[in-house]
Amino acid sequence: MVTSTGPSRRIVLAGLGGAALAAPALTPASAQPVVLRWWSPQTAPAQREAYNFQIRTFQEANPGVTVNFEATSDEGYPAQMAAAFASGQVPNVVTHLPSFAVSQYWANNLLEPFNSVIDAIGPANFFEGANRIYEVAPGQFAGTGIGGSAANMMWLRQDLMREAGVTEVPRTWDQLRDACRRMQRGPVFGAPLPYARNSMTSLIFICFVHGAGGSIFTPDLQVNVENDAFRNALEFYKSMREFCPPGATNYSWGDSLTAFVSGATATGIYTGRVLANVATQNPRIASSVTCHMYPTISAATPHWTFNDFPSVMIPKGASNIEMTRRFAAHLFRADGYIRQLHAAPGHVLPVLRPIYESAEYQANPLIQANRPAVQLMSQAASAGHNLGWETTRHRPNVRAGQIVASHVFAEAVQRFVSNNEPIATVVSDVARRLEQLMRA
């Protein structure tokens, strides 16, 4: 069981992440050299540089061990993971998949327990509640978070707001529509919402359902879509299509991000990666960019933040399991972990309080220049949820990954928005398919 105490803040910042886990020493007389495989869909150049540092420091501390990084895909990881499990050629460590993927793999008996890694990192070093979403049974953890995210923040161009006479940050959907209508002029569109058959459309649409005051499931995991909240979300999502670029029918995460960063849209919906991308790709707008909580149907309807809880997990059957656990803990050693977080400041937020409070983390120029935005995203992420755990009242949903991969919500958006099918038919079909997926 994970204990209630752990290494101190000083130990964390001095370099935890492996020292607390015993691993067999490798000597010339030992068996074949150890090769570990690390998979992640987060592969931007700055992140790869941070990963290379973490790999190098681990290899230096563990002679005879080689770590190979292999890129996966946000959209393609379910098939890639399925192939790895089917072949028995699983990676040792997988990072940055959403927490609901961890729950699903655990439910299918495909993951190693993660308790010893959390013990090595130090349970007391995590923000309160950070590991709750990974506690698949009392005292049993299937993984942990490599960070937190606030994936549906609203990004605004304050310069375009002033030019259009928009004096208040939109709080409601009607105000958002009005602001987009007024700021949409010339080559600039109002918003970069996705309308493609992919995970981004499904996940962002789930945010709008919660923004309408609804949920996909009841707290006891009964299907909960045949109601006004779900229909209102569909209607509003359709109403926003006129403010999105023509290419939004094919948008995924990168396309939506690029649309805002490039200046093609006046608003954005994304994590804090916007800050780094604007700074490097379009610095002329940097002083005008700000973020806020995404609007909801009314001011009385609370915000709902989508946090996919980017994870760390160990597939069952991974080779060299003790060294694998040691490497998983090493990913949280301060020098490498802070480099990884700084690769895209505000995108993945620290799950360790001593790291967040450290001078090294806070010293990043983008974090310093955008302290209110980073603080807002951190607060939003800490209170965030996803389909695997919709609210604090909800039971964990181990079918969430399978549901997202089915594209049931993205197809509903396409049918209603692009094909103009009757809303009653679309909603009824969504309810039926969700029932089937929950029974599968």
- Helix 273-281 vs helix 253-261: crossing angle, to nearest 10: 50
CA angle 336, 338, 341 (to 5 degrees): 110
Q: How far apart are CA 213 and CA 304, in angstroms?
A: 9
Residues 6+ apart with CB under 8 A from 422: none
Going by C-beta distance under 8 Å and a sequence separation of 6 or more, which residues neighbour residue 197? 407, 410, 411, 414
What per-residue confidence (pLDDT) applies to 73? Answer: 87
CATH topology for 153-306+391-439?
A: D-Maltodextrin-Binding Protein; domain 2 (3.40.190)
What's the CA gap between 55 and 37, in Å, rounded? Answer: 11
Bridge partners (DSSP) of residue 268 are 155
SS3 251: coil
Residues 6+ apart with CB under 8 A from 195: 201, 241, 244, 248, 249, 251, 413, 414, 417, 418
Query: Residue 1: what pLDDT?
Result: 34
Q: Which residues of the chain have pLDDT under 70?
A: 1-31
DSSP helix/strand/coil, 20: coil
**Residue 170 and residue 296: Cα distance in Å, rounded?**
9
Q: How far apart are CA 42 and CA 40, in angstroms?
A: 5
Task: List the structure tokens of 333.
Answer: 């050693």
Question: For residues 329 and 22, what is the distance between their CA atoms, to the nearest angstrom?
Answer: 11
How far apart CA 267 and CA 274 sit, in angstroms, is 11
Alpha-carbon distance values, 280 to 51, 148, 284, 340, 390 (Å): 20, 23, 10, 17, 35
What CA dihedral angle connects 211, 217, 220 and 221, to 10 degrees? -150
Q: How far apart are CA 356 and CA 168, in angstroms?
A: 31
Q: Does the domain made of 9-149+307-382 have the CATH classification 3.40.190.10?
A: yes
Q: How many residues does the chain have?
A: 440
Instruction: Locate CATH 3.40.190.10 in the chain.
Output: 9-149+307-382, 153-306+391-439
């490798």: which residue's tokens? Answer: 26
pLDDT on residue 31: 57
